[in-house]
């Protein structure tokens, strides 16, 4: 959500904390929450979801699925039931779909409606309306849909779905789980095989969940990348979907525990899908003590309790090929790099320029404002760490980006001088209760005096 005259900015300050201790469960995985609602709406029968992330992004997707004809009910905290319409059964919405700040919800739903014979109008908040949708439009137009949009293929836009969709073989120009997922969702209501080839593996929650709901999805790795094949027009059947804790949300507290001296935190029920676990691998490479405890499987997704203890971090060169497995975690990784001994190099991050903000630029500006040496590259950052306590100070321009806000609040917990972010209202879109959870672990967060 962006602030306006009716919703003024709400600055928040993080003061140097004592050790962070205890056991936390961060909210449900955002990626899985979106997909559970969408596939529930495209299935026959009842889908019961537990642990759903109830942030604004996911609630917008729930409202959109209801507008497309599914019955969506909340029965308790994180407990939702969806009675779906079946593959090909979505109905033309009477009003435009407002996805707020949710790029994931918008892009996946564009795929879902592209192969239905009606027109759907999409909009979002100011931030989402700045984000380009061309990478989604290109393959969906090849399948027969038509997009009508503002300049730069930005929201608000209309997706004119097709009654005669054509299966495609589409090679992603850039690794993107959202584009891959949009094409696969469009392929559900398309006769024949829809094939996506990705240059590097990206998060595979869509493939896992499609199989759980009854679709046939084959994955094959080859010298040209990973090929994902969906057999169209399956009958999807409603499922029970327990949503694990979100590794992207857990990342903030993992970094906090790593850089605040004396900390010892355990994060429970965290999804550790290999294609999402890059941040934990990288922290280990930097010397962080991380234990994966109680490993188990939750509805086709591997989960664990993760124990993180503070220690001395060292700068590293993060392998660029790891980027698709941790793309959302680079802002908070930059905070860990700032506290490390030596230099950390991050490359292959062009995708961060078209997120809720230009995250590379926003991180670089924030680091400089808090006394950290950083070089901004076209596709990454080079950060010179302090080897200990961070200088801090200054006010961070969050640019309505929840990950920028949370990352620099984590910095403030380990900084000599308090760090203030200019607005914290958008954090609720992806991580409701962030500040209260942090305070419960011992962090000092409050309004600037």
Every domain of the chain and the residues it spans:
12-28+244-446, 30-242
Q: How far is CA 154 from the centre of its chain?
A: 20
For residue 410, pLDDT beyond 60: yes
Just give the CATH number of 12-28+244-446: 3.65.10.10
For residue 361, pLDDT beyond 70: yes
Of residues 242 and 298, more confidently modeled: 242
d(CA 181, CA 178): 5
Q: So what's the pLDDT on residue 155?
A: 97
CATH superfamily of 30-242: Enolpyruvate transferase domain (3.65.10.10)
Rounded average pLDDT over 210-237: 96
Q: What is the layout of strands, in order, in the sheet containing 289-298?
A: 21-24, 264-271, 301-309, 289-298
Domains 12-28+244-446 and 30-242 share a fold: yes
The number of CA neighbours under 13 Å toward the Cβ of 66 is 14
Of residues 130 and 337, more confidently modeled: 337
Q: So what's the pLDDT on residue 324?
A: 87
Task: Let me know: does 42 contact 83? Beta carbons within 8 Å.
Answer: no
For residue 317, pLDDT beyond 60: yes
Q: So what's the pLDDT on residue 2?
A: 40
Q: So what's the pLDDT on residue 5?
A: 39
Rounded average pLDDT over 34-62: 97
56 is catalytic: no
Contacts of 4 (CB under 8 A, 6+ apart): none
Strands (E), 329-411: 343-346, 373-377, 380-384, 390-392, 395-396
Which of the residues 56, 246, 328, 423 is marked catalytic? Answer: 328
Q: So what's the pLDDT on residue 224?
A: 86
Q: 328-354, pLDDT tens digit by residue?
A: 999 999 999 999 999 999 999 988 887
For residue 398, pLDDT beyond 80: yes
Task: Let me know: does 166 contact 144? Beta carbons within 8 Å.
Answer: yes
Rounded average pLDDT over 171-181: 94
For residue 9, pLDDT beyond 80: yes
CA-closest candidate to residue 177, choices 153, 203, 210, 143: 203
Q: Return the number of other C-beta atoms located less than 10 Å from residue 69's C-beta.
A: 15
Percent of the chain with pLDDT over 90: 88
Kindly give the residue spans of alpha helices, DSSP state H, lying in 396-433.
402-413
Rounded average pLDDT over 315-338: 95
Tell me what the pLDDT averaged over the chain comes to.
Answer: 95
The number of CA neighbours under 13 Å toward the Cβ of 369 is 20
d(CA 46, CA 82): 6
CA-closest candidate to residue 69, choices 99, 38, 47, 48: 38
Q: How far is CA 100 from the centre of its chain?
A: 15
Rounded average pLDDT over 122-149: 95
Q: So what's the pLDDT on residue 174?
A: 87
């Amino acid at each position: 959500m962006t602030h306006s005259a009716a919703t003024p900015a709400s600055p928040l300050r993080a003061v140097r904390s004592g050790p962070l201790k205890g056991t936390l469960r961060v909210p449900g995985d955002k990626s899985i929450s979106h997909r559970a609602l969408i596939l529930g709406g495209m299935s026959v029968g009842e889908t019961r979801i537990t642990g759903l992330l109830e942030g604004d992004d996911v609630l917008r997707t729930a409202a959109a699925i209801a507008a497309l004809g599914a019955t969506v009910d909340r029965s308790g905290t994180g407990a939702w039931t969806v009675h779906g319409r079946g593959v090909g059964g979505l109905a033309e919405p009477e009003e435009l779909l407002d996805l707020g700040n949710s790029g994931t919800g918008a892009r996946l739903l564009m795929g879902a409606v592209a192969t239905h014979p009606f027109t759907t109008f999409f909009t979002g908040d100011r931030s989402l309306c700045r984000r380009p949708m061309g990478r989604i439009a290109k393959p969906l137009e090849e399948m027969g849909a038509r997009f009508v949009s503002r300049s730069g293929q930005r929201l608000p836009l209309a997706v004119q779905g097709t009654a005669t969709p054509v299966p495609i073989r589409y090679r992603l120009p850039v690794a993107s789980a959202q584009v891959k997922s949009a094409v696969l969702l469009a392929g559900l209501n398309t006769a024949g095989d829809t094939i996506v080839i990705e240059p590097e593996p990206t998060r595979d929650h869509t493939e896992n969940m499609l199989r759980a709901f009854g679709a046939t999805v084959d994955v094959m790795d080859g010298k040209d990348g990973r090929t994902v094949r969906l057999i169209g027009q399956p009958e999807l059947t409603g499922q029970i979907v327990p949503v694990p804790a979100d590794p992207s949300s857990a990342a903030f507290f993992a970094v906090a525990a790593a850089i605040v001296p004396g900390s010892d935190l355990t994060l429970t029920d965290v999804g550790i899908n290999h294609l999402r676990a890059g941040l934990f691998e990288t922290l280990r490479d930097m010397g962080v003590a991380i234990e994966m405890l109680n490993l188990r499987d939750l509805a086709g997704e591997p989960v664990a309790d993760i124990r993180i203890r503070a220690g001395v971090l060292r700068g590293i060169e993060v392998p660029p090929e790891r980027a698709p497995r941790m793309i959302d975690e680079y802002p908070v990784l930059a905070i860990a790099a700032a506290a490390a001994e030596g230099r950390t190099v991050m490359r292959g991050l062009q995708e961060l320029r078209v997120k809720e903000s230009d995250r590379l630029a926003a991180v670089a500006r924030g680091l400089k404002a808090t006394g950290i040496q950083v070089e901004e590259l076209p596709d990454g950052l080079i950060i010179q760490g302090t080897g200990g306590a961070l200088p801090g100070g200054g006010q961070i321009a969050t640019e309505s980006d929840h990950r920028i806000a949370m990352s620099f609040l984590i910095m403030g917990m380990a900084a000599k001088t308090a760090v203030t972010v200019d607005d914290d209202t958008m954090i609720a879109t992806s991580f409701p209760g962030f500040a209260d959870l942090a305070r419960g672990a011992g962090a000092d967060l409050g309004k600037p005096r």
